[in-house]
């Protein structure tokens, strides 16, 4: 009996839809981590959270790396890019911490809506990935959907708003650099390990000046935050290795939808028409980007296959010698 071969999907097809599931998981994990950040920021300074959480995340990452079968367990193929990503990771964490401390979730996440735009602008110079005009339409629609979620608008522009803007810019840069590293370095855990080692060391230098005693509940909050952060960032790096950076960053806006659902189911907050409209715009914009990438990859694969077939056919015709009595 002949062995049956199971149908297989192309790597890029798996990347588009597998990346979608990874981003949705990331949104759930990130929502929990952001809630803890907001709660913790009212009583403590940023170094106290990021020093301890960075150490925990780095330890979890190191243990996970040791369990891999890679011969170069802790060696990255792009050390300079990894160092640059770590720098932007630290800046992004500090900016968002300051923003979450002073602003409501609504105002902070309105700025996060612009992360896909930043990622799209940075994807071409860093990754050489051109953004098609269809994708620009989806990106603008997604950002517009975020504004629809909170139609009351922003308050007067303050330092906290500037922090939210810079957090979005540095966060988008770190995400694009993560995809750049993933092209050569397939060990996603290293992109979680080294940035957290960096933020732990930097915050440890500042911690003695701002440290406050913590209760058992505060310690549990830090551990929970670190655990959620470890899983979220690992999942995010995996998603960036499967999908284009601007697609992933736009799909991250699904986190708003999760927040609306949590507010309605747990806190009894009834979503307004604007919230529903904004959520629908984000969903359709994100789905369009995934479909656009999948169709582009599929057509590119077909064109490549047809080109190869045509090339082989031409070689066969040129090498075939005419038989006696036939016209060459």
Roughly how many angstroms between the first and final C-alpha of the chain, as a whole number?
A: 46
Q: How many beta carbons lie within 10 A of that of residue 184, not counting itself? A: 10
pLDDT range class, residue 8, cuts 50, 70, 90: very low
Q: How many beta carbons lie within 10 A of that of residue 163, not counting itself? A: 22
Query: Average of pLDDT values for 25-52?
Result: 86
45: helix, strand or coil: coil
pLDDT range class, residue 90, cuts 50, 70, 90: very high
Rounded to two decimals, what is the model's pTM? 0.71
Judged against a pLDDT cut of 50, whether residue 14 lies above it is answered with no
How far apart, in whole angstroms, are the C-alpha atoms of residue 241 and residue 188?
8
Of 125 and 300, more confident = 125
Q: Which residue has the tokens 């999760």?
A: 258
Of 303 and 47, more confident = 47
Judged against a pLDDT cut of 90, whether residue 95 lies above it is answered with yes
Q: Tell me, what's the pLDDT at 173?
A: 92
How far apart, in whole angstroms, are the C-alpha atoms of residue 236 and residue 57?
14
Judged against a pLDDT cut of 90, whether residue 84 lies above it is answered with yes
Judged against a pLDDT cut of 70, whether residue 1 lies above it is answered with no
- Which phi and psi angles does 250 have, rounded to 5°? -70, -40
Lowest mean pLDDT among 136-150, 158-172, 257-271, 275-289: 257-271
How far apart, in whole angstroms, are the C-alpha atoms of residue 132 and residue 327?
49
pLDDT range class, residue 268, cuts 50, 70, 90: low
User: Which of 36-45, 63-72, 179-188, 233-242 reaches the highest mean pLDDT?
Assistant: 36-45
Q: How many beta carbons lie within 10 A of that of residue 243, not counting itself? A: 26
- Tell me the per-residue pLDDT of 27-40, one tens digit each, with 9 for 90 and over: 888 888 887 887 88
Instruction: Give the long-range contacts of residues 192-195, CB within 8 A, separation 24 or more.
Output: 192/57, 192/61, 192/230, 192/233, 192/234, 192/237, 193/58, 193/61, 193/62, 193/65, 193/74, 194/76, 194/82, 194/83, 194/86, 195/82, 195/85, 195/86, 195/89, 195/90
Helix and strand numbers, DSSP H then E, in the chain: 12, 0
- Give 271's DSSP letter: P
Q: Tell me, what's the pLDDT at 43?
A: 86
Q: Tell me, what's the pLDDT at 205?
A: 94
Query: Is residue 264 within 8 Å of residue 270, measured between CB atoms?
Result: yes
Query: Is residue 286 within 8 Å of residue 141, measured between CB atoms?
Result: no
Lowest mean pLDDT among 83-87, 220-224, 282-286: 282-286
Mean pLDDT for all residues in the chain = 76
- Which phi and psi angles does 278 have, rounded to 5°? -65, -40
- Give 156's DSSP letter: S
Q: Tell me, what's the pLDDT at 267?
A: 54
């Amino acid at each position: 009996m002949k062995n049956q071969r199971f149908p297989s999907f192309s790597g890029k097809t798996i990347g588009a839809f597998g990346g979608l599931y990874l981003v949705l998981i990331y949104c759930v994990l990130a929502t929990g981590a952001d809630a803890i950040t907001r709660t913790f920021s009212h009583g403590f300074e940023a170094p106290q959270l990021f020093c301890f959480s960075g150490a925990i995340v780095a330890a979890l990452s190191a243990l996970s790396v040791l369990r891999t079968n890679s011969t170069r367990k802790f060696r990255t193929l792009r050390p300079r890019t990894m160092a640059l990503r770590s720098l932007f990771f630290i800046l992004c964490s500090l900016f968002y911490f300051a923003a979450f401390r002073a602003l409501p979730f609504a105002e902070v996440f309105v700025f996060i809506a612009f992360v896909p735009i930043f990622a799209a602008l940075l994807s071409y110079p860093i990754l050489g990935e051109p953004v098609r005009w269809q994708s620009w339409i989806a990106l603008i629609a997604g950002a517009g959907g975020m504004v629809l979620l909170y139609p009351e608008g922003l308050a007067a522009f303050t330092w906290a708003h500037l922090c939210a803007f810079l957090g979005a810019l540095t966060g988008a840069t770190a995400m694009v650099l993560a995809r750049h590293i993933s092209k050569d370095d397939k060990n996603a855990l290293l992109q979680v390990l080294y940035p957290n080692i960096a933020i732990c060391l930097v915050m440890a230098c500042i911690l003695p000046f701002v440290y406050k005693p913590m209760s058992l509940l505060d310690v549990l909050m830090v551990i929970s935050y670190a655990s959620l952060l470890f899983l979220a960032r690992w999942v995010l790096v995996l998603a960036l290795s499967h999908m284009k950076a601007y697609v992933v960053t736009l799909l991250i806006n699904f986190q708003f939808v999760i927040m609306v659902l949590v507010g309605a189911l747990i806190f009894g907050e009834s979503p307004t028409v604007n919230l529903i409209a904004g959520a629908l715009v984000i969903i359709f914009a994100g789905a369009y980007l995934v479909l656009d990438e999948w169709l582009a990859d599929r057509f590119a694969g077909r064109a490549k296959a047809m080109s190869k077939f045509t090339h082989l056919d031409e070689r066969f015709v040129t090498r075939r010698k005419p038989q006696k009595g036939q016209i060459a």
